[in-house]
Chains A and B, each alone.
Chain A
Amino acid sequence: MDFSFSTEEEAFRQEVRGFLEENLPDPVPTTPEFLREWNAKLRAKRWVGFAWPKEEGGGGGSLIEQYILKEEMSLRRAPPLGSDFMGLAWVGPALIRHGSEAQKKRFLSDILDSSSLWCTGYSEPDSGSDLASLKTRAVRDGDEYVVNGQKIWTSAAKQAKWIFNLVRTESSSRYGGITCLLIPMDTPGIEIHPIDNLSGRPGFNEVFFTDVRVPVENRLGKEGEGWRVVMGALANERSGISESTEMTRKLDSLIELARNSRKAGRPALEDTSVRRELAAFDTRIEAMRLNGMRNLSRQLKGDPPSSETSINKLLRGALEIRMAELSLEVLGSASQLEGPWQNAALSFHGTVIGGGTPNIQRNIIGERILGLPKD
């Protein structure tokens, strides 16, 4: 057991802090110009795609240094390491593992430069938690696939240039009949319908495919390998550590709110149940951080990423809900009005459901880890 960092790792932390000191104004600007400049600076330091192999344009950095980098960035509320979120999280790692040389050449540097924007086509109206039942069809026609079907809950579909899309090429095999296609969003036959989220804002979209023709060279991996391609990417780098720094920041704001509020005529922080709840949040966030370090440690030893990441997904979901509820308790009667905390208490549901609902995570743990019979 050793939770300390080596001198080189500590030196790297200082380097990151120095960089942030020099390049990140407080408060952090949100203009597109700043973001462009910011992305360019990070790219020059090879901090975007930090742990991707050097020969693919990444930083070739260690997982521990990546953890340090993300932690420091998150503590200073820096913008993300690169703007093409889906490209960096899903598409790039999948390309590195399964892509042809031509595909890597074509896509990876754009993702790292934040000059591309990807969306992902997973869920369908009848295939949510049961993703492997997806029905969007792709039928081979010469050198092309013809795609017909519908995706739903697609974030950023309007802005994205490309979609990383799961389709069915074979109906008899549940997992083995799924293939991954990379499709330009301006291909004829693609139609996007935004869906308003419960706050009335456009949060995600439906994407319809009608006779969309996709060249075979845009297939990622072999036909029928789509499930493997996605599951590998899904597990990639999901140690959940940076999530804990994000939650720490949320807790800081919640404590500030409690510090400045009164509950039943007394300072809210003097309320025993509020104090206890805040301390319980602190403890659960620390558990998330340490669970993340445990996952990281496993990866360092060469173990494949495992279902253990479901643990932090569950902890986070429960925390989001309880923290939002406590903010409303602290606000008292004002919780009936619209406001930033009140809106947050409506919108965390997206984070909790996205990427697999809590009940799906419980199934994963129950079946894959505890060995209980599948239902």
Chain B
Amino acid sequence: MNFGFEEEQELLRREIRKFLDEQCPMEEVRRLAQSSDGYSREQWKQLAELGWLGLMLPEAYGGAELTWVDAVVLLEETGRSLFPSPLISTTLAGSAIADLGSEDQKGRWLPGLADGSRIGTIAFLEDNDVLGPAGIQLRGRPRGDAFLLSGEKRLVADVEQADLWLVPFRVGDPEDAIAIAVVERDADGASGRPLPSIDRTKRTGTLQLDEVPVGPDALLGPPAGASLGLSRVLDRGALALCAEVIGAAEAALRITVEFAKQREQFGHPIGHFQGVKHPLAEMYVEVESLKSLLYYAAWAIDEDPEVAPAAISRAKAYAADAFTRIGIDGIQLHGGVGYTLEYDIQLYLKRSKWARSMYGDADYHYDRVARARGL
């Protein structure tokens, strides 16, 4: 038993930290948040060169074949910096293709995702706002051995940035009759339309599909066989998101602690008063407990897959509530300046609002925890 990161992982963390401190300090985050791309292509290229885009992909396709625990290290740091990039989306797309795709498909798409020339994302949400296979109502209309897809996918992360959209659709009535198609950006009838996100460091929008043809070579796994794969990729999304939440929540805590040490009122730094000190202590309890829940879940994904879904749901449910509270308290403890555009704490509040429902909110995940416990 060892509840801690390995030396190599600590090294990885230091490298990432150094890169982000140098390349993407808060002024740069703010600039990118206002840019039309929403991320820096130059930085994206560097991420690829450092090997962080293909962290978990097979070596044969340009990846480093590391584990989810390594990915947690990377994402904690990008979360800490509020690093604007399609990193989670691309990581998920890559992991789904590696998981479900044929050798041909892996050869076609994975190297591009690993070397930064292509960005991927998953379009999993529809009008009904139901997460998972049950929520997939978009039906593929068979035509020969292909399908035609028409409809709309909502709140697709990085929809406009992506070159590959992974599109789950329904091929039959049973809940798990789901296929996943890889739709390329230049496909006829497919287009991404951005929508303003509450957190400008995270981009989102709608994917319109109008009679988009998908052949058998674009389907990941057998038709009607991707339900489990979809659940798995959503689980991994929740896991990845939690890792970013840890970094961001820890940063929000650190910023607020520093503020509380410097800001003086009534002749004392305000952190001297229990009305300030105690909520900060609670924030710390939440962050550390979330770390424990998430590290276990990340380990379980690779080492004990049976317990992973419930472990991930515990982490995401906890993260949603904890980060919400940390975002709110972070602003409140700053007082008036917390409500200004100038102070960084507001950026974390916005991230907390965005993260709360992404890959399932607390209600959704607590329901899964309840089921896992036989309730």
Contact = CB atoms under 8 A, between A and B. Distances in A.
A315 to B, nearest CB: 7
Nearest to B70: A1
B272 A362 contact: no
Interface in B254-287: 257, 260-261, 268-269, 271-274, 276-278, 280-282, 284-285
B299 A2 contact: yes
B374 to A, nearest CB: 9
Interface stretch (A44-52, A179-187, A294-302): A294-302
A296 B292 CA distance: 13
B274 A279 contact: no
A287 B318 contact: yes
A301 B6 CA distance: 13
A235 interface: no
Nearest to B365: A279
B2 A297 contact: yes
B272 A311 contact: no
A134 interface: no
Given A4-B303, A297-B1, A375-B274, A280 B375 contact: no
B59 to A, nearest CB: 21
Contact of B373 (A1, A282, A288, A373): A282
A211 interface: no
Contacts of B269: 372-373
A300 B2 CA distance: 9
Given A365-B281, A370-B257, A279 B367 contact: yes
Nearest to A2: B2
Contacts of A372: 257, 260-261, 269, 271-272, 276-277, 280
A283 B318 contact: yes
A304 interface: no
A276 B314 CA distance: 12
Contact of B289 (A4, A287, A296, A301): A287
B367 A3 contact: no
Nearest to A291: B292
Give the interface centre of A280, A298, A301 by most chain B CB atoms within 10 Å: A280
B272 A373 contact: yes
Given A1-B295, A287-B318, A372-B260, A296 B3 contact: yes
Nearest to A63: B1
B288 interface: yes
Given A1-B299, A296-B3, A315 B272 contact: no
B34 to A, nearest CB: 33
B358 to A, nearest CB: 18
B3, B271, B272, B363 — most chain A CB neighbours (10 Å): B3
Contacts of B50: none
B289 A311 contact: yes
Contacts of B369: 279, 282-283
Contact of A297 (B4, B268, B299): B4
- Interface SS of chain A: helix
B296 interface: yes
B354 interface: no
A3 B288 contact: no
B251 interface: no
Nearest to B283: A370
Contacts of B220: none
Given A1-B299, A278-B370, A293 B1 contact: yes
B293 interface: yes
A279 B289 contact: no
Contacts of A344: none
A106 B5 CA distance: 44
B298 interface: yes
B16 interface: no
B1 A4 contact: yes
A3 B4 CA distance: 10
A279 to B, nearest CB: 4
A278 B368 CA distance: 12
A283 B278 contact: no
A375 B303 contact: no
A5 interface: yes
A374 interface: yes
Given A315-B285, A375-B272, A280 B367 contact: no
A131 interface: no
A278 B285 contact: no
B366 interface: yes
B164 interface: no
A361 B276 CA distance: 14
B289 A291 contact: yes
Contacts of B321: 280
Contacts of A301: 4
A190 interface: no
Nearest to A294: B3
Most interface-central of B280, B284, B298, B311 (chain A CB within 10 A): B284
B268 A370 contact: no
B280 A287 contact: no
Contacts of B292: 287, 290-291, 293-294
A80 B308 CA distance: 32
A308 interface: yes
B4 A373 contact: no
B299 A3 contact: yes
Contacts of A253: none
7 contacts: A1-B298, A275-B375, A279-B373, A363-B277, A365-B285, A371-B261, A372-B277
Interface of B: 1-6, 69, 257, 260-261, 268-269, 271-274, 276-278, 280-282, 284-285, 288-290, 292-293, 295-296, 298-300, 303-304, 311, 314, 317-318, 321, 362-363, 366-367, 369-370, 373, 375
The 3 closest A-B pairs by CB, nearest first: A290-B292, A297-B3, A366-B277
Given A1-B69, A291-B288, A375-B273, 13 more contacts: A1-B6, A5-B1, A283-B314, A284-B318, A286-B293, A293-B292, A294-B3, A314-B281, A315-B289, A363-B281, A366-B271, A367-B277, A375-B268
